[in-house]
Amino acid sequence: MKQKIFRLLADLRFAIIILLLISLCSIIGTVIEQDQSVEAYKLNYPLINQGFEFLSWDFILNFGLDHVYRTWWFLSLILLFGISLITCTFLQQLPSLKVARRCQFFRTTGQFNRLKISTIVTNFSLNKIFLRLKRSHYSIFQQKNITYCYKGLIGRIAPIIVHLSMILILFGTIIGSLFGFKAQEIVPKTETFHIQNILSNGQLTNIPTISARINDFWITYTKQNTISQFYSDISILNTQGKEIKRTTSFVNSPLIYNGIYFYQTDWNLVVLRFQNFDHQVFEYPLVNILDEQTKIWLTWIPTSQTLDQGIILVIDNLQGYCSTYDDRGLFLGNIELNEKLQLKRLFSLIEVISSTGLQIKTDPGIPILYAGFFFLMLSTLTSYITYSQVWILQKNRKIFVGGNTTRALFEFELEFFKFIN
């Protein structure tokens, strides 16, 4: 019974079926947005969805299709596929490699008929054939009148390296799913924050208790006034609040600390800060007037005690100026930093308070994944090495010569006839 189970696990057809199931689940995880809020699934996948009634938000949540790659059944498929690869390696690939290393002598002339290339040579020196085989880097084994030669044995290792690389990739995926996490934080500059807004995490994830401070946030612009780059000056703090690491992070260049990555992903404007001639500071909060994808904010500055009269300030950049409108929507002009705004009293715009959006994530399986892909590339190169075999039998003043190869048959034919020409 154990032998039947192991043979089933090592069967190529079984491995292909599991791989197809993993691919199908991956397609589902690509089509359906992952790790979204319940409201987002209710909006995009209503219970009444013509043509796709089965694909409703409750079906997605009940079967874990909102986090496919962390479900028990997806991890089970990966584990089962890994076991299949390991079983195939030990039951098929390693024994095949051992067989390839053995001396497989041909003792009868009839065995040469099964080879791809074979011929009979007369009046030819056997030593000349050995010399040419040696120059072609063949390993030669001889017993009296029979000889066996091979080269390119490392090409037989390629399938084993492929299995090793896939096992490492699967193992790294499981480690990342179980121990990784992803969080999103929107933090005003000069503020300190902890990792709290967790978007997704594995079953065995331990959320770190570190704190960080946003020292500054700024945006650089091109000559056409389009955004060039976002920058966040971030400090990592210890439990006493002392700075232990400080880095300026920007898009595609995250801050890395103890395997935790702080990516620059978003930005926001929070407050316009004014000052009057009495050095009193007034702050007016900004509100995004459309949605999170549209970067336009406004605020209302009342000019009457009843708050029904005033001006509107609109801002869509971090270049230090905003536009002003009256309560009827008529454009009054632009105001820049340190420029005075004439209301019933003079005000001066002294600062635009911004916030940075950081994506914080860790994936301990990444180094294992990189190692797996390295071995996968190595196996691709190794597979181009041809494994060739040559057999020689001397009988009745005739020399029977034959050979086989795993690939590049035409080149092997040219090489073979050079031995006997």
Listed by start position, the domains of the chain span 2-96, 111-162+375-420, 178-268+357-364, 269-356
How far is Cα 111 from Cα 402, in angstroms, rounded to an integer? 9
Residue 123: how many CB atoms within 10 A of its CB? 7
Burial class (CB in 10 A: 0-12, 13-18, 19+), 164: buried
In order along its 421 residues, the chain shows pLDDT tens digits of 777 888 888 888 888 999 999 999 999 888 888 878 788 888 888 876 555 556 788 888 888 888 888 888 998 998 899 899 888 888 888 887 777 677 788 888 888 888 888 888 887 778 888 888 898 889 889 888 899 998 988 888 888 888 899 899 989 988 988 899 999 999 998 899 999 888 888 888 888 888 999 999 998 888 887 888 999 999 999 888 889 999 999 988 899 999 899 999 888 888 888 887 777 888 889 988 766 667 889 988 887 777 778 888 899 888 888 888 888 888 888 888 888 776 666 678 888 888 999 999 999 999 999 999 999 999 888 888 888 889 999 888 888 999 988 888 888 888 888 887 7
Phi and psi, residue 124, nearest 5°? -135, 140
The answer to whether the beta carbons of residues 321 and 336 sit under 8 Å apart is yes
pTM exceeds cut of 0.85? no
CA dihedral 363, 367, 373, 376 (to 10 degrees): -130
- Tell me the chain's radius of gyration from C-alpha atoms: 35
Strand partners, 72: none
| CATH class of the domain whose range is 111-162+375-420 | alpha beta
Read out DSSP for 142-182?
Answer: EETTEEEEEE-GGGGGHHHHHHHHHHHHHHHHHHHHHH-EE
Transcribe 27-56 into DSSP letters: HHHHHSPPS--HHHHHHHS-S--TT-TTS-
Question: Is the backbone of residue 126 left (phi > 0), alpha (psi -120 to 50) or beta?
Answer: alpha
Q: How far apart are CA 142 and CA 182, in angstroms?
A: 63
Distance CA 313, CA 172 (A): 51
Give Cα separations from 2 to 6, 78, 81, 88, 89 (angstroms): 6, 22, 18, 14, 17
- Beta strands at 346-362 and 310-315: parallel, antiparallel or unpaired: unpaired
**Distance between CA atoms of residues 243 and 210, nearest Å:** 11
φ, ψ for residue 345, nearest 5 deg:
-130, 160
* 270 Cα distance to chain centroid: 34
SS3 content of the chain, % helix, strand, coil (to 5): 35, 35, 30
Write the CB contacts of 148 (distance below 8 Å, at least 6 apart in sequence): 103, 104, 105, 106, 140, 141, 142, 389, 390, 391, 392
List the structure tokens of 45.
Answer: 């996948």
* Neighbouring C-beta atoms of residue 172, cutoff 10 Å: 21
